[in-house]
Amino acid sequence: MTGQRLRVLIADDHAIVRQGLRQILSDTDDLEVTGEAENGVTAIQLARQQPWDVMLMDVSMPDRNGIDTLKIIRKEFPRQPVLILSMYPEDQYAIRALKAGAAGYLTKQSAPEQLVKAIRQVANGKKYVSASLALELAEAITDDTERPPHERLSDREYQTLCLIASGKTLTQIGDELNLSVKTVSVYRARLLEKMRLRNNAELTHYGLKHGLVE
């Protein structure tokens, strides 16, 4: 953290979201947006090219999704916080994001003042989670045996599950995750085995039942 204004990078594939975030932060004396990226690849390049204090990043982005981008940035910049800002509810991606190295997780429904508070908090070396997410984290730690099957999947397996459940084909999933169809098929086979499900129809039913599909 600098003694001057905190330099914030924004990574989100929607221009209107970036503009809204820039407006919120420009109204705050101690924060300034110093760069924007519309996808994961650009976010990584931006992080390498200029000094920054906090990165605000979406989970769902083209080229390279937020979780994968987060892991790369955390590896290269372990001391600098990345705050995930997503349209997905906390129960879908928050714990995965925190495990991957995020300093905090906010949904896009959060109030502007909550966003500003979160940026300041992670810039000071602390984590930021909502009260409801803190409770969920505590429950996940205290009773690991009763966690639903999808929480035991790897990030890639979980992404594949959500995309299959939303009706995407293996080819479409491969394009979205930048993977070969063969690799996606491997993830599908693994998650079917881990979850003891037989086919895409059962995966889709599971995804709908557990609220994993928008």
pLDDT confidence of residue 93: 79
pLDDT at 146: 63
Instruction: Write down which residue in 140, 175, 199 finishes a domain.
Output: 140
Angle between helices 155-165 and 181-195 (to 10 degrees): 90
Residue with tokens 């987060």: 70
104 and 193 belong to one structural domain: no
Domain assignment of residue 51, yes or no: yes
- Whether 132 and 70 share a structural domain: yes
**What is the rounded CA–CA span in Å between residue 180 and residue 65?**
16
Query: Are 134 and 153 members of one domain?
Result: no
Same domain, 135 and 199: no
| 44 within domain boundaries | yes
Q: Are 36 and 135 members of one domain?
A: yes
- Tell me: do 26 and 48 sit in the same domain: yes
- In this predicted structure, what is the pLDDT of residue 139? 66
Whether residue 100 sits in one domain with residue 18: yes
Q: Which of 124, 140, 156 is the C-terminal boundary of a domain? A: 140
Per-residue pLDDT, 168 = 93
Residue 190 sits in a domain whose CATH number is: 1.10.10.10
pLDDT (tens, 9 = 90+) of the chain, 214 residues, equals 445 899 999 999 999 999 999 999 999 999 999 999 999 999 999 999 999 999 999 988 877 777 889 999 999 999 999 999 888 777 777 888 888 899 999 988 888 999 999 999 999 999 998 877 777 776 666 555 567 788 888 889 999 999 999 999 999 999 988 899 999 999 999 999 889 898 999 999 999 988 888 6
The pLDDT of residue 1:
44
Q: Are residues 164 and 200 in the same domain?
A: yes
Question: What secondary structure does DSSP assign to 90-155, as a single string?
Answer: HHHHHHHHHHTT-SEEEETTS-HHHHHHHHHHHHTT--B--HHHHHHHHHHHH-GGGS-GGGGS-H
CA separation for the pair 212, 129 (Å, rounded): 20
Domain limits for position 165: 148-209
60 secondary structure, DSSP code: -
Assigned token pair, 201: 């129809």
C-alpha of 23 from chain center? 22
- The DSSP line for 148-191 is -GGGGS-HHHHHHHHHHHTT--HHHHHHHHT--HHHHHHHHHHH
Tell me, yes or no, whether 24 and 110 share the same domain. Answer: yes
Same domain, 20 and 99: yes
What one-character DSSP code corresponds to residue 61? Answer: -
> Is residue 1 situated within a structural domain?
no
Give the integer Cα–Cα distance in Å for 119 and 113: 10
- Tokens standing for residue 11: 């990574």
164 and 123, same structural domain? no
CA separation for the pair 87, 146 (Å, rounded)? 27
CA gap 199, 214 in Å, rounded:
20
87 and 189 co-located in one domain: no
Domain final residue pick, 123, 140, 157? 140
> How many domains in the chain?
2
> What pLDDT score does 143 carry?
55
Per residue in 80-91, pLDDT (tens digit) is 999 998 887 777
Q: Which CATH number does the domain housing residue 73 bear?
A: 3.40.50.2300
Q: Is residue 214 part of a domain?
A: no
Count of Cβ atoms closer than 10 Å to residue 126 Cβ:
12
